[in-house]
Structure 1
Amino acid sequence: MTKKRRLAIISDFHLDSNHFSIEEIELFISLLNDLQITDLHFAGDISNDLHNISEPFFHQLESLTDLSVTFNLGNHDMVGLSEEEISVSNFKVKTFASTAFVSFHGWYDYSFMKEKVDFQKIITFKNSFYFDRKIHRQFDDIKTTAIELEKLENLLTELSAKPEIERIIVSTHFVPHQQFIINTRYEKFARFNAYLGSQHFHELFTHFPKVTDVVFGHLHQRRTPLKIDNILYHARPLGYPYEWQMVNEFLVKYPQYQIAENWHLRKRYNVLRKSSDWQAFRRENLMKEFQSSLTIFDLDD
C-alpha cells in the first residue's frame, strides 16, 4: 500500500510582528495534527529575523511534532542576510513519488507597472520608504530577477526531463502573475506593484506542462484558486491581524466597533484590538484563520 503524505503550505506567517502567544502556536500545531499534515512549508515572510526567530521556530515545530519543515524566503526574511545566505535556501526540490515540489524565493523587476516605468522614481521611493531598503542584494532588482528566472528555467528543464516526475508543484514568495496585482487608479498605491513580483515567472511556467500548481504570497490578499494557462495559482497568505478574515466576521457580530472609515484596515483594527470582545473572538476563531491560510496537497510518498 502506498504511503500518503500531506503537504501544507503557508505564507506570510510574520511570527514576530503578529506576536503569537505560546498558546496560539500550540493551537497552530494542534491544527496541523488534526489535519494530519506530514510536511509543512513556509512560503516566505516567516519573520524579520531568519537566524534568531524563524530557524528556532522550525526546530521547535520539528521537536514537538513529526513534521518535516521546509521554507523559502520572502523579503522580510532577507533582512540582514548576505547574498550567500539568501542563496542557501533557494531552489530546493523535495520529491513525493512522481511529484516534485520546487521552492524558490523569487523577486521583482517592475514588470507589473501599467504605465511607462520611471526607473529612477521607483528606485528612489524604494530606497527612501519601502521596507526592502533594508535588504542589500548583490545586483539591482532587474538583474536579480533575471538570475532567478535563469536558475528556475534550468531547474524546471532538468525536472521535466525526468520520466519519473509527472507533476511539479511550485512555491515562491513573490507574485508571479499580473492577475493578482493591486488594481487601483491611485498612484500612491499602484506604485507598490513595482515590488510585487514579475509576469516573467508565469511566462516561464507556461513552457513546462508538468507545472500544475503555484503557491505564493507577499501581497496580503487571499484569493480563490485561479487557473491560468492550465496552471492553478494559490494565494492564501496569513498576513497581519488587521487583514484577517475574522475581523470582518467580528464587526458583523459587534457592529458597535465599526467606524466611518471601515475601508481603512489599520484604523478599524486599532479600535477593537484591545477590547475583551476581540480577544475572546480571536481565541475562538484563530484556528479557523490559520486553516484558511493553508494550501494542502495530498501526495504519495
Structure 2
Amino acid sequence: MKKLALLSDLHLDVNQFTDTEIQVFIDTLQEQSVTDLHFAGDMSNDYKKITAPFFNQLSKCFDISHNLGNHDMVHLSEKEINAQDFSLKYFGDTLLISFHGWYDYSFTQDYSKEKLLAFKNSFYFDRKIHRDYSDALTTQHTLNSLKSILENLDFSGRIIIAMHFVPHKAFSINTAYKKFERFNAYLGSQAFHELFIQFPQITDVVFGHAHHRISAQSIDGIMYHSRPLGYTYEWQMVSDFLQDYPEYQIEEHYHLRKRYQAIRSLDSWQNYREQNLSKEFLSSLSFFELPT
C-alpha cells in the first residue's frame, strides 16, 4: 500500500519557512504515513536555487514528483519548462498524470483579449515569464499533448490528474469588485474539464493556483480537489488566532494582508504559529491510499 499526498502553492520563499518549520512539514507527512509526495506547482519563485534543493532534502524521506506553477517558471526557458511537463507515475491499478496547465482567458467575458494581455504585460506576475507562444496557443498545445497521452495509454485503471492551473470555471473567483474580476482570465481554462470528461478513467483532479481551499467537489463524475497552502496572511490559522485573541482584530478585518501585518511580530502570534503549523499543513494536503 502506498499513500500519496498532494499539495500546491507552498511558496517557500514568500512564506519564509525556517528549517524547524520544514521539519514540522516532514514530520506531519510522516505521521500520516505518506510514502509519495506530489507538488502541484508554485513551490517558490526560484526553481533552481530554492525548489530543487528542497526536493533533494525531501527525497530522503519520500518519493517526490511535481509539476510547475507560474511562480516556478520565472527564470526558466520554454525548453526548461517543457522538460518538466507531463509525468506519468504508476501505483498498481492507479496512474497519476501530472502537467503544468495554463490559461486562455476563458473564465472572463468582460474584457477584450487585448486589454487582458496589456494588463498582464504591465502588472500581472506572469509578465516575468517568457513563453514562446500566446497564452491561448500555449494552452492548446498542452491540451493537445494531454489528449495524445490519454488516447495512447495502454492502461485500463483509474487516473488521477495533478495540475497547477484551474480546470473549471466553477472554481474561478467570485468577487463583487470589478477590478479583481479580470484576474479570472489568468486562472486556467474550461477546456481542461471538457477534455477530462471524454476519458471516464479520470476520477480525480488536484489543482491549485487560486489560493482558495475547497471541499472536494464532484462535477460530471470527476472529483475536484484544491487545498493550496497559499501565503501566510491567507491561512486559516490567522482567522483562528484573531478569533482566540479578538483584541488584535483591526477595523479593516476583511483586508487579509493588513490584519496579518498587525499580528506578525507579536510573541503570541509566533507561539500560536508554532503550535498550529502542523494543522495548517495538514489542511492543505489531499491524500490517496493506493494499493500497489
- Give the match's secondary structure for 2:75: coil
2:51 to 54, 75, 95: 54
- The alpha-carbon deviation at position 252 of structure 1 amounts to 0.7
Aligned partners of 1:125 and 1:234: how far apart in 2? 29
AA at the equivalent of 2:280: E
Does 2:213 align with 1:218?
Answer: no
- The alpha-carbon deviation at position 81 of structure 1 amounts to 0.6
- The alpha-carbon deviation at position 282 of structure 1 amounts to 0.2
- Give the match's secondary structure for 1:224: strand
Look up the match of 2:104: 109
Look up the match of 1:13: 10
- The alpha-carbon deviation at position 52 of structure 1 amounts to 1.0
Look up the match of 1:273: 264
1:158 to 152, 156, 162: 152
- Give the match's secondary structure for 1:256: helix
Look up the match of 1:44: 41
Look up the match of 2:92: 97
AA at the equivalent of 2:257: R
Look up the match of 2:170: 179
- Give the match's secondary structure for 2:273: helix
Look up the match of 1:29: 26
- Give the match's secondary structure for 2:30: helix
Gap runs ≥5 in structure 1: none
Does 2:199 align with 1:208?
Answer: yes
- The alpha-carbon deviation at position 196 of structure 1 amounts to 0.3
- The alpha-carbon deviation at position 243 of structure 1 amounts to 0.3
**Cα displacement string for residues 218-259 of structure 1 (whole angstroms, at most 9, x for unaligned residues):** 000100000000000001000011000111110110001111
Q: Give the 4+ runs in structure 1 shifted more than 2 A.
A: none
Does 2:137 align with 1:146?
Answer: no
TM-score (norm 1): 0.96
Aligned positions of 1:246-257 closer than 5 A: 246-257=237-248
CA contact (8 A) 1:100 1:165 kept: no
- The alpha-carbon deviation at position 165 of structure 1 amounts to 3.0
Aligned partners of 1:60 and 1:5: how far apart in 2? 20
Q: What is the Cα-based RMSD across aligned positions, in Å?
A: 0.8
Aligned partners of 1:255 and 1:224: how far apart in 2? 27
- Give the match's secondary structure for 2:59: helix
Does 2:232 align with 1:241?
Answer: yes
- Give the match's secondary structure for 1:272: coil
Q: Percent identity?
A: 56
Look up the match of 2:131: 137
Aligned partners of 1:219 and 1:290: how far apart in 2? 17
Look up the match of 1:227: 218
- The alpha-carbon deviation at position 35 of structure 1 amounts to 0.5
Aligned partners of 2:274 and 2:125: how far apart in 1? 30
Alignment: residue pair count: 292
- The alpha-carbon deviation at position 139 of structure 1 amounts to 0.2
**Cα displacement string for residues 37-89 of structure 1 (whole angstroms, at most 9, x for unaligned residues):** 000000000011111110110001113x2x10011000000001111100111
**Cα displacement string for residues 84-111 of structure 1 (whole angstroms, at most 9, x for unaligned residues):** 1001111100001111100000000000
Aligned partners of 2:190 and 2:87: how far apart in 1? 22
- Give the match's secondary structure for 1:17: helix
- The alpha-carbon deviation at position 157 of structure 1 amounts to 1.5
AA at the equivalent of 1:142: A
